[in-house]
Amino acid sequence: MGIEAEALVGVLALQGDFAAHERALALAGAGARPVRVPADLSGLRGLVLPGGESTALLRLMAPVGMEEAVRRFHGAGGVLFGTCAGLILLAAKVTGPEQPSLGLLDAVVARNGYGRQIDSFVGTGRIGLPGEEERDLEMVFIRAPRVLAVGPGVRIVGTHSGEPVLLEQDRILAATFHPEMSVQPEGGGPIHRRFLAMCDAAGR
Protein backbone atom coordinates (compact mmCIF):
# COMPACT_ATOMS: atom_id res chain seq x y z
CA MET A 1 0.00 0.00 0.00
CA GLY A 2 1.48 3.30 -1.07
CA ILE A 3 -0.44 5.38 1.44
CA GLU A 4 1.23 4.83 4.78
CA ALA A 5 1.41 6.74 8.04
CA GLU A 6 1.42 10.24 6.61
CA ALA A 7 -2.10 11.56 6.16
CA LEU A 8 -2.84 11.45 2.44
CA VAL A 9 -6.52 10.76 3.05
CA GLY A 10 -9.02 12.71 5.12
CA VAL A 11 -12.32 12.13 6.90
CA LEU A 12 -15.00 14.81 6.98
CA ALA A 13 -15.18 15.43 10.73
CA LEU A 14 -18.19 17.69 11.15
CA GLN A 15 -20.77 15.17 12.41
CA GLY A 16 -21.35 11.44 12.45
CA ASP A 17 -19.07 8.42 12.85
CA PHE A 18 -15.87 9.94 11.47
CA ALA A 19 -13.74 8.54 14.32
CA ALA A 20 -14.70 4.97 13.36
CA HIS A 21 -13.46 5.61 9.82
CA GLU A 22 -10.19 7.01 11.15
CA ARG A 23 -9.71 3.79 13.15
CA ALA A 24 -10.57 1.62 10.14
CA LEU A 25 -8.09 3.47 7.94
CA ALA A 26 -5.40 3.15 10.62
CA LEU A 27 -5.96 -0.63 10.70
CA ALA A 28 -5.57 -0.63 6.91
CA GLY A 29 -2.21 1.13 7.29
CA ALA A 30 -3.16 4.71 6.40
CA GLY A 31 -3.09 7.88 8.44
CA ALA A 32 -6.21 10.02 8.16
CA ARG A 33 -6.55 13.77 8.65
CA PRO A 34 -9.78 15.22 10.05
CA VAL A 35 -11.29 17.62 7.51
CA ARG A 36 -13.46 20.48 8.77
CA VAL A 37 -12.72 23.37 6.39
CA PRO A 38 -11.69 23.48 2.71
CA ALA A 39 -8.03 24.19 3.56
CA ASP A 40 -7.85 20.77 5.25
CA LEU A 41 -8.18 19.13 1.83
CA SER A 42 -4.81 20.43 0.71
CA GLY A 43 -2.42 17.62 -0.24
CA LEU A 44 -4.98 14.83 0.17
CA ARG A 45 -5.67 12.08 -2.34
CA GLY A 46 -8.98 10.93 -0.88
CA LEU A 47 -11.81 12.00 1.42
CA VAL A 48 -14.31 9.93 3.40
CA LEU A 49 -17.84 11.30 3.80
CA PRO A 50 -19.06 9.37 6.86
CA GLY A 51 -22.41 8.22 8.10
CA GLY A 52 -24.42 10.48 10.36
CA GLU A 53 -27.36 12.74 9.54
CA SER A 54 -27.27 14.04 5.97
CA THR A 55 -29.33 17.18 6.66
CA ALA A 56 -27.10 18.06 9.62
CA LEU A 57 -23.99 17.52 7.52
CA LEU A 58 -25.35 19.83 4.82
CA ARG A 59 -26.08 22.54 7.41
CA LEU A 60 -22.56 22.27 8.81
CA MET A 61 -20.86 22.18 5.41
CA ALA A 62 -22.61 25.24 3.97
CA PRO A 63 -21.17 28.04 6.16
CA VAL A 64 -17.54 27.05 5.43
CA GLY A 65 -18.06 26.30 1.74
CA MET A 66 -17.35 22.57 2.03
CA GLU A 67 -19.89 21.52 -0.60
CA GLU A 68 -18.16 23.36 -3.43
CA ALA A 69 -14.75 22.45 -1.99
CA VAL A 70 -15.61 18.73 -2.20
CA ARG A 71 -16.81 19.14 -5.78
CA ARG A 72 -13.56 20.91 -6.70
CA PHE A 73 -11.53 18.25 -4.87
CA HIS A 74 -13.13 15.49 -6.89
CA GLY A 75 -12.90 17.45 -10.13
CA ALA A 76 -9.16 17.87 -9.57
CA GLY A 77 -8.65 14.10 -9.24
CA GLY A 78 -9.50 13.39 -5.61
CA VAL A 79 -11.18 10.13 -4.55
CA LEU A 80 -14.41 10.21 -2.53
CA PHE A 81 -15.78 7.45 -0.28
CA GLY A 82 -19.29 7.93 1.11
CA THR A 83 -21.02 5.66 3.61
CA CYS A 84 -24.72 5.84 4.50
CA ALA A 85 -25.32 9.61 4.90
CA GLY A 86 -22.14 10.15 2.87
CA LEU A 87 -23.69 8.25 -0.04
CA ILE A 88 -26.80 10.46 0.27
CA LEU A 89 -24.60 13.56 0.02
CA LEU A 90 -22.93 12.23 -3.13
CA ALA A 91 -26.06 11.13 -4.98
CA ALA A 92 -27.50 12.89 -8.01
CA LYS A 93 -31.03 12.74 -6.59
CA VAL A 94 -32.36 12.18 -3.07
CA THR A 95 -35.91 11.21 -2.17
CA GLY A 96 -37.85 10.48 1.02
CA PRO A 97 -37.98 13.49 1.25
CA GLU A 98 -36.05 15.30 -1.48
CA GLN A 99 -33.05 17.36 -0.37
CA PRO A 100 -29.98 19.00 -1.94
CA SER A 101 -26.88 16.91 -2.64
CA LEU A 102 -23.47 17.17 -4.27
CA GLY A 103 -24.73 15.46 -7.42
CA LEU A 104 -21.48 13.60 -8.12
CA LEU A 105 -22.73 9.99 -8.07
CA ASP A 106 -25.17 9.05 -10.85
CA ALA A 107 -27.69 7.39 -8.56
CA VAL A 108 -31.13 8.00 -7.09
CA VAL A 109 -31.34 7.14 -3.39
CA ALA A 110 -34.11 7.10 -0.80
CA ARG A 111 -33.30 8.30 2.71
CA ASN A 112 -34.15 5.81 5.48
CA GLY A 113 -35.00 3.33 2.74
CA TYR A 114 -35.03 0.38 5.15
CA GLY A 115 -37.05 2.18 7.84
CA ARG A 116 -36.35 4.01 11.07
CA GLN A 117 -33.61 3.45 13.67
CA ILE A 118 -35.52 0.51 15.15
CA ASP A 119 -35.34 -1.22 11.76
CA SER A 120 -31.52 -1.13 11.67
CA PHE A 121 -29.94 -4.56 11.21
CA VAL A 122 -26.77 -6.55 10.54
CA GLY A 123 -26.83 -8.83 7.51
CA THR A 124 -24.56 -10.63 5.06
CA GLY A 125 -24.11 -9.40 1.51
CA ARG A 126 -21.84 -10.09 -1.45
CA ILE A 127 -19.05 -7.92 -2.77
CA GLY A 128 -17.05 -8.28 -5.96
CA LEU A 129 -14.32 -5.67 -5.89
CA PRO A 130 -12.11 -5.16 -8.97
CA GLY A 131 -9.31 -7.70 -9.10
CA GLU A 132 -10.80 -9.83 -6.30
CA GLU A 133 -13.08 -12.86 -6.16
CA GLU A 134 -16.62 -12.36 -4.93
CA ARG A 135 -17.06 -12.92 -1.22
CA ASP A 136 -19.58 -12.68 1.58
CA LEU A 137 -19.29 -9.64 3.85
CA GLU A 138 -20.99 -8.56 7.05
CA MET A 139 -22.98 -5.37 6.45
CA VAL A 140 -24.34 -3.05 9.16
CA PHE A 141 -27.39 -1.03 8.10
CA ILE A 142 -28.38 1.88 10.37
CA ARG A 143 -31.27 4.00 9.08
CA ALA A 144 -29.72 3.17 5.75
CA PRO A 145 -30.57 4.70 2.39
CA ARG A 146 -31.77 2.54 -0.47
CA VAL A 147 -30.41 2.79 -4.02
CA LEU A 148 -33.41 3.14 -6.34
CA ALA A 149 -31.58 3.58 -9.66
CA VAL A 150 -28.08 4.00 -11.06
CA GLY A 151 -26.76 5.50 -14.28
CA PRO A 152 -24.82 3.60 -16.97
CA GLY A 153 -21.43 4.68 -15.63
CA VAL A 154 -22.01 3.24 -12.15
CA ARG A 155 -20.67 -0.23 -11.28
CA ILE A 156 -22.56 -2.23 -8.66
CA VAL A 157 -19.82 -3.99 -6.69
CA GLY A 158 -21.85 -5.04 -3.66
CA THR A 159 -25.36 -6.35 -3.09
CA HIS A 160 -27.60 -7.38 -0.21
CA SER A 161 -30.65 -9.54 -0.91
CA GLY A 162 -30.20 -8.71 -4.58
CA GLU A 163 -30.23 -4.92 -4.07
CA PRO A 164 -27.25 -2.64 -4.83
CA VAL A 165 -25.49 -1.46 -1.66
CA LEU A 166 -21.92 -0.72 -2.83
CA LEU A 167 -21.23 1.42 -5.91
CA GLU A 168 -18.21 2.70 -7.84
CA GLN A 169 -18.07 5.50 -10.36
CA ASP A 170 -15.29 7.80 -11.53
CA ARG A 171 -13.12 7.89 -8.35
CA ILE A 172 -16.17 7.51 -6.12
CA LEU A 173 -16.87 4.58 -3.79
CA ALA A 174 -20.22 4.64 -1.98
CA ALA A 175 -21.91 2.24 0.46
CA THR A 176 -25.42 2.30 1.90
CA PHE A 177 -24.10 0.37 4.93
CA HIS A 178 -21.35 1.05 7.52
CA PRO A 179 -18.17 -0.89 6.60
CA GLU A 180 -16.27 0.96 9.33
CA MET A 181 -18.27 -1.07 11.88
CA SER A 182 -17.14 -4.44 10.52
CA VAL A 183 -13.39 -3.98 10.13
CA GLN A 184 -10.91 -6.63 11.20
CA PRO A 185 -7.91 -6.05 13.52
CA GLU A 186 -5.58 -7.33 10.79
CA GLY A 187 -5.71 -5.10 7.74
CA GLY A 188 -8.93 -3.26 8.47
CA GLY A 189 -11.62 -4.22 5.99
CA PRO A 190 -11.85 -4.79 2.23
CA ILE A 191 -13.93 -1.69 1.56
CA HIS A 192 -11.44 0.68 3.19
CA ARG A 193 -8.59 -1.14 1.45
CA ARG A 194 -10.38 -0.63 -1.87
CA PHE A 195 -10.71 3.09 -1.11
CA LEU A 196 -6.99 3.31 -0.40
CA ALA A 197 -6.18 1.42 -3.61
CA MET A 198 -8.28 3.95 -5.53
CA CYS A 199 -6.34 6.76 -3.83
CA ASP A 200 -3.05 5.08 -4.82
CA ALA A 201 -4.26 4.83 -8.42
CA ALA A 202 -5.30 8.49 -8.44
CA GLY A 203 -1.77 9.49 -7.42
CA ARG A 204 -2.52 13.17 -6.91
**pLDDT per position as a tens digit, 112-136:** 877 666 667 899 999 999 888 999 9
Q: Is 178 known to be catalytic?
A: yes
Q: Tens-digit pLDDT profile for the chain (204 aa)?
A: 444 445 689 999 999 889 999 999 999 989 899 999 999 999 999 999 999 899 999 999 999 999 999 999 999 999 999 999 999 999 999 998 899 999 999 999 999 877 666 667 899 999 999 888 999 999 999 989 999 999 999 999 999 999 999 999 999 999 999 999 987 766 678 999 999 999 999 876
pTM summary value:
0.93
**Per-residue 3-state assignment (H helix, E strand, C coil) for the chain:** CCCCCCEEEEEECCCCCHHHHHHHHHHCCCEEEEECCHHHHCCCCEEEECCCCHHHHHHHHHHHCHHHHHHHHHHCCCEEEEECHHHHHHEEEEECCCCCCCCCEEEEEECCCCCCHHHCEEEEEEECCCCCCCEEEEEEECCCCEEEEECCCCEEEEEECCEEEEEECCCEEEECCCHHHCCECCCECHHHHHHHHHHHHHCC
Domain 7-202 has CATH 3.40.50.880: yes
Q: Is 84 known to be catalytic?
A: yes
Q: Is 192 known to be catalytic?
A: no
Question: Among residues 84, 160, 168, 199, which one is catalytic?
Answer: 84
Question: Among residues 160, 178, 192, 199, which one is catalytic?
Answer: 178
